[in-house]
Amino acid sequence: MSSIAITLPDGSERSLKTGSTAADLAADIGPGLAKAALVATINGEQRDLDVPLADGDSVGLITDSSDDGLEVLRHSTSHVLAQAVLALWPGSTFAIGPAIDDGFYYDFDLPGGQTFTDDDLERIDAKMREIIGADQPFIRGEVPADEGMALFEGHKYKQAIIERVTSPDAALDAEMASEVDAAGTVSFYRNSDDFIDLCRGPHVPSTGRLGHFKLMKVAGAYWRGNEKEPMLQRIYGTAWSNKKELKQHLHRLEEAAKRDHRKLANELDLVSWPNELGPGLAVWHPKGALVRKLMEDYSRDRHEHGGYHFAYTPHIAKAALWETSGHLDFYADGMYPPMELDGATYYPKPMNCPFHVMIYKSDQRSYRDLPLRIFELGTVYRYELSGAIHGLLRSRGFTQDDSHIFATREMLEDELASLLDFVLSVLRAFGFEDFQAKLSTRPPEKAVGDDEIWDMATEGLRAALEKAGLDYIVDEGGGAFYGPKIDVDVKDAIGRAWQLSTIQADFNLPERFELEYVANDGERKRPVMIHRALFGSVERFFGVLLEHYAGAFPVWLAPMQVQVLPVAEAHDAFADTVTARLRGLGYRAETIAATDPLGKRVRAGKSNKIPYVLVVGDDDAANDTVGVNARGQDVERDVSFETFAARLANDVETHA
């Protein structure tokens, strides 16, 4: 047979000469595609373009306009990074280098424990561009494992990978999966006489296809992600199909940096982290505290109307409580150390749950009392690793909007459904519209509770998600040992996902604390507990809101809602009456007296992201009007006070 038939993704067939490769197919279809194609899918599997095709193959061509193509491009760029580093640091060795979101990384071990500095990135970048300029082909080879070991003589991490993936019971981890095939043979790619890398592939045909990349940063990373293993030197980069995409990505990073809540907290005078306090401990300045109070007030109001009972509990408790709860057994590392006094040992609380359990236990409970919903804004202290601390998003002292719901098994499903509705409703009130949920089910080992209750709770959570019409993924076996859970992520204004709310069933604490209620048949039964945090932590939620709104809080949350600017000193008195009237209506308003020029005061108001900056002059004093500068909008002159007040009222009412 001198020709083969190939099926294309659209179902059409194409006839090619025997021995043709995927690259030939691309060329046959058109020169544009020949240039753009990076890899092929052959019968559903990604392969290099130089792979010969067989009669009857289904073949698709992947370009850099697809996610798959970008991934290949990034993976190939990581190889070029490795080649550059190995060339520049003789004696260095390399571990793994996968594609990741937006880019790639590669882990290295430099001789003599050397480390990269930021300056090294420039040298590496230059070397990489040299390699790309040389347009070296990526040539695949395959050898048995033992030959592979010889091929990577002196490269212990590569050898470890070969051993790992070719051992019969190799549990392939995801990171290594991109390195090799687990079929007793290993594949590698040769770019030049000096460089080969263990790799499953596929790769772009040659290094000349690459180039729109930027090395971003140097970081330490443990070999195999295990803190017991050696620390390797990781270089991160970003790579795109063209210059414009790369530029846009860098621009997005800049925009995200502008929204950094730590930067905004400083600029807007909301929160600070004095070194004197210690890592992960913040002080809330008046403006930040005001926003937080508004958030908390809103939360309390919703909970009050949602059938919750408020509670307050202490910040410390004796060791016995934490022994019963189990925290000292499995969470001691995360707890602040104990305080000894009066012959007893006290711990700061890392969680509120045991206290709410105490409230439950303070009385004999009937099924008629259930569900019992306890709510507290409870401040907890956790000893987070110093390197894990991140502004308000991860701190050592924070306030959970913590609810514990005690219910019977029979009530579980309805309760979970209404809880989820409640959570979503409150999140929407804060301007979040886009949600993604995760349902985590029973872990394969070590779980408490019988099958029946796990099923009931898991199905209850699933039903709640279905009923709410929420997108969700299932993390099989991802639940805690004490019960299944739902985590809710929200997407912010620039598309980043934040995990905020959680609803967790708990079969463990009711056992440990021997909780009971009297059922309608007089029997004593064990209730189920549900942990539910909505903001997660007030501090973290505040940080997320700050980034979501880029500091421009909606009117109902803005620490200062209106500034009134008299044009000149002659108008100070009228400005004061406008301010006083607004305050009388319950708004947060202030006059900025005419000591500075108007332009300067307008600018300051805008910089502080004040929702409304009003300017009042002669005309306004005469006609009881104001000049309205709404944040982000053009000036409106001669607006009557009443019209403006109605607009404010509407903004606050609708949370606009």
Residues taking part in catalysis: 353, 382, 400, 402, 404, 485, 531
Q: For residue 401, what are the β-bridge partners?
A: 377
Helix (H) or strand (E) holding 198: strand 195-198
User: In Å, what is the CA distance from 641 to each residue of 578, 587, 620, 646?
Assistant: 8, 14, 9, 9
Q: Specify the residue, 263 or 309, whose C-beta has the smaller distance to RNA.
A: 263
Q: Where are the alpha helices (DSSP H) in 306-352?
A: 319-325, 327-330
CA neighbor of 334 nearest in space, from 319, 347, 350, 320: 350
Q: Specify the residue, 155 or 262, whose C-beta has the smaller distance to RNA.
A: 262
Q: Specify the residue, 34 or 256, whose C-beta has the smaller distance to RNA.
A: 256
CA neighbor of 9 nearest in space, from 68, 70, 82, 85: 68
CA distance 486 to 440: 6
CA neighbor of 505 nearest in space, from 390, 406, 598: 406
**Least Å from the CB of residue 537 to RNA:** 11
Max Cα–Cα distance, the chain, nearest Å: 98
End-to-end CA distance of the chain: 71
**Least Å from the CB of residue 359 to RNA:** 17
CA distance 602 to 337: 51
**Least Å from the CB of residue 191 to RNA:** 26
Any residues with CB less than 8 A from the CB of 521 and at least 6 apart, and which?
none
For the chain, helix, strand, coil in percent to 5 are 40, 30, 35
Give the rounded distance of the alpha carbon of 409 from its chain centre: 33
283-284 and 271-272 strand pairing: antiparallel
Sign (positive/negative) of CA torsion 327, 332, 334, 338? positive
CA distance 112 to 227: 20
Q: Specify the residue, 551 or 617, whose C-beta has the smaller distance to RNA.
A: 617
| Length reported for the chain | 656
CA distance 158 to 199: 10
CA distance 252 to 246: 10
CA distance 307 to 578: 40
CA distance 651 to 632: 15
Residue with tokens 């929420």: 470
Give the rounded distance of the alpha carbon of 569 from its chain centre: 50
Q: Specify the residue, 139 or 639, whose C-beta has the smaller distance to RNA.
A: 639
DSSP 209-230: G---EEEEEEEEEEGGG-TTSP
Please say whether the beta carbons of 443 and 478 come within 8 A: yes
